[in-house]
Structure 1
Amino acid sequence: MTQPIAIIAQSLIRERTLAGLSLAEVARRANIAKSTLSQLEAGNGNPSLETLWALCVALNIPFAKLLEPVSHQTQVIRRGEGMKVVAGEANYQAILLASCPPGARRDIYLLMAQPGADRLSQPHLVGSVEHIIVTQGRALVGLKDAPETLEPGDYICYPGDREHIFKALEPDTLALLVSEQG
């Protein structure tokens, strides 16, 4: 079980980085010592409720955001799987693959890849998430140390703030990439 201070430390670093603020600036805004904030981000100390509230105000985040553990999960949905909604008056079906969290930004790309041109990506901004749907061919996709083989229609979601790979396994592999930054 993760200790609350460890979750708070990860959340403080994540939210400060997402806000683009220095340690000194957040400490100034929260009216606490820079050394106190540094200790909290290192996972040390026992912060008071008042200190945590002041940090939330300084970072412009709800209090609950400090208590949310960082999620490093990979999700795969195979073609034909998932929660399906069917239209009553048309031959049309929709499967929700992922909803957009509040305040997130999404960029959409069409990927065109050939075997032998593996794309190893370094970690992106903290909190980044990538969603990929293979539309043609086959590809090895996901975290560098745990990629998944995807067929046409398969979906994967993984943390973009960790090393990840896209490796075409067939000629003319196509995929849709949605890059989400929190």
Structure 2
Amino acid sequence: MGAPLDIIAHSLRRERTRAGLSLSELAKLAGIAKSTLSQLESATGNPSVETLWALGKALDVPFSRLVDPPAPRVRVVRAGEGPAVRSEEADYVATLLASCPPQVRRDIYRITAEPGTVRRSDPHRDGVVEHVVLGAGRALVGLAEEPVELAPGDYVTYPGDLPHVFEALDPGTAAVLLSEHP
């Protein structure tokens, strides 16, 4: 299978524009002919690995940014989709909605929980802060020694580097949890 020419063309134009470089300037920095770069940006060239590495270096971007399709601008995760992990000690499910991309330090989860057991969390790494917005039901959420009762629409934030809990008080309790990492 050949190189994804349309993706490479779009990526090169995007990164060259972001860097504020003309075709001539980028070609010179990468040590390639301007005509070669022009062909690549019009998806008619046949780039070698070496050419793409040189362009990536000149643009100060990883090779993968030139050959990977861009992430969609809008991403939807429907209820019931996404990697879900169940608790062994409580009727509690954490579904990862968005992991932490490079240079961003947060993860977002959808939480579903049922009454009857408490989800106790050991302290996470130093500096972790958790944010919870309750969407349905009622729950006790926060630091283990002083959780607060939340109703739909309520928000709480607390240090995730201390012991904390999530306890559903009503059937069908659901929340969104954002974990912020230092």
Q: If the length of structure 2 is used for normalisation, what is the TM-score?
A: 0.44
Structure whose CA Rg is larger: 2
